[in-house]
Amino acid sequence: MLQLNFIRENKKDVISGLKKRGFNNFDLIENILCQDDLRKKTQAILDDQLSKANLIAKKIGLLLKSGEKEKAEILKSKSIDIKKNNKELEETLNKIEDELTQLRYQIPNVPNKIVIKGFSEKDNQEIEKFGKFPKLNQSNCLPHWELAKKYNLIDFDLGSKITGAGFPVYIDKGAKLQRALINYFLDKNISNGYKEIQAPYLVNEESGIGTGQLPDKDGQMYHIIKDDLYLIPTAEVPLTNIFRNEIIEEKDLPICLTGYTPCFRREAGSYGSDVRGLNRLHQFDKVEVIRIEAPGNSEIALKKMIQLVKKILLELKLHSRIVRLCGGDLGFTSSITYDFEVFSAAQKKWLEVSSVSNFNNFQAERLKLRYRKKSGLKNLVHTLNGSSLALPRVIAALLENNQTKDGIVIPKTLVPYTGFDLIS
């Protein structure tokens, strides 16, 4: 969340930036500042009362030492009243701080200056296209859900039987292709300096709040009520929360982690062709990368993450593009996001396979995640994350774009992982 001093000192810029998102509840900004003023005033009164209580306690000690018990008893009675008042003040302060935190949870991150105003994905900026356009015979070009059935790779009906729509079952070479991609993505990330972590798939509420999924995306997460735990929507949540409430030494930055996890999302409100096959699932596999950086290095780190994802897609020989999200399409916690999309030859549309984002110190403020400079001063870190990569739409594009009359050709870079070069 945004730091209070940042909101107060940059109020005009905050409002201007949030307008790019289509955010217009600026009374909320005023409420936050007023609530912060009340917090400061209450804290000052409490500090003054605590100081008085300490002075009285010292006087009582001196009076008892000198044998003046009657005067000491009078002060003790006064001390009891002050302590009772202080307890009430502390309760009031805690309530004010809780209300202030809840208000702050409602404010999204301020977009980077280069992010343009916009309202949906239609307003996103295409930055670059790369990779060869797939040349297929469009008369007999099949979408991936038909290819999956033809070659017995994925059974969507069986997934519906076992669980429900959006939970596919991968079979034989379909399962091997999935596993091959996971291992390939992890190996590429590790060779680029990321340490592999195997993290839990369930997190507590505090972890969801720390990275910004809660309370903003509460309705999109699967909640296990009995245990008050949430199924993760992305490995970003457990990986970043490893460092919640930590102080990292400057010499230990950057921290670069990668991890594979299944991801669980309700994806409410999606209909039609957008949900066919692997286009939109409730459970899917993804390999994630996260970075924790000193503030001055996060822009360079973002570029490195973009280049990593681009290199992977080039090796898979997928026709791809990079788009910079407009303000209205940004995630709640993101300051700037670049999406990678691959072209689906049979569906004739772009499919998002990765989002790479810089959150600046927005998550760090929630996580209370700081680093200690050589001087001893402590400051909030910057956090970043990226899909490297989400599997379903990568598989969809690989099946569709590599179909031939003889079968589906596996990209050479994946053959050492699959153990086969053709699905037939």
What's the predicted TM-score (pTM) here?
0.93
Spell out the domain ranges in the chain. 24-104, 121-423
Closest CA to 290 of 234, 363, 352, 240: 240
d(CA 367, CA 30): 24
Report in angstroms the alpha-carbon separations of 64 from 50, 55, 71, 179: 21, 14, 9, 77
pLDDT of residue 81: 80
Count, residues in the chain: 424
**pLDDT of the chain along its 424 residues, tens only?**
999 999 999 999 999 999 999 999 999 999 999 999 999 999 999 999 888 888 888 888 887 778 777 777 777 777 788 888 889 999 999 999 999 999 999 999 999 999 999 999 999 999 999 998 888 876 789 999 999 999 999 999 999 999 999 999 999 999 999 999 999 999 999 999 999 999 999 999 999 999 999 998 888 999 999 999 999 999 999 999 999 999 999 999 999 999 999 999 997 545 555 778 999 999 999 999 999 999 999 999 999 999 999 999 999 999 999 999 999 999 999 999 999 999 998 999 999 999 999 999 999 999 999 999 999 999 999 999 999 999 999 999 999 999 999 999 999 999 999 999 999 9
Cα 384 to Cα 236: distance, rounded to the nearest angstrom: 9
Find the helix or strand (DSSP H, E) in which 293 lies.
strand 283-293
Q: Which CATH class is domain 121-423?
A: alpha beta
Closest to 308 (Cα-Cα) out of 321, 289, 330, 335 = 289
Centroid of chain to Cα 86: 40
Sole residue written with tokens 């689906």: 344
Distance CA 408, CA 406 (A): 7
CA distances from 145 to 174, 179, 241, 386 (A): 12, 19, 36, 27
State how beta strands 195-196 and 154-155 pair.
unpaired
- So what's the pLDDT on residue 270? 53
DSSP 31-81: HHHHHHHHHHHHHHHHHHHHHHHHHHHHHHHHHHHTT-HHHHHHHHHHHHH
CA distances from 131 to 305, 320, 341, 360, 374 (A): 18, 6, 12, 31, 44
Strand partners, 236: none
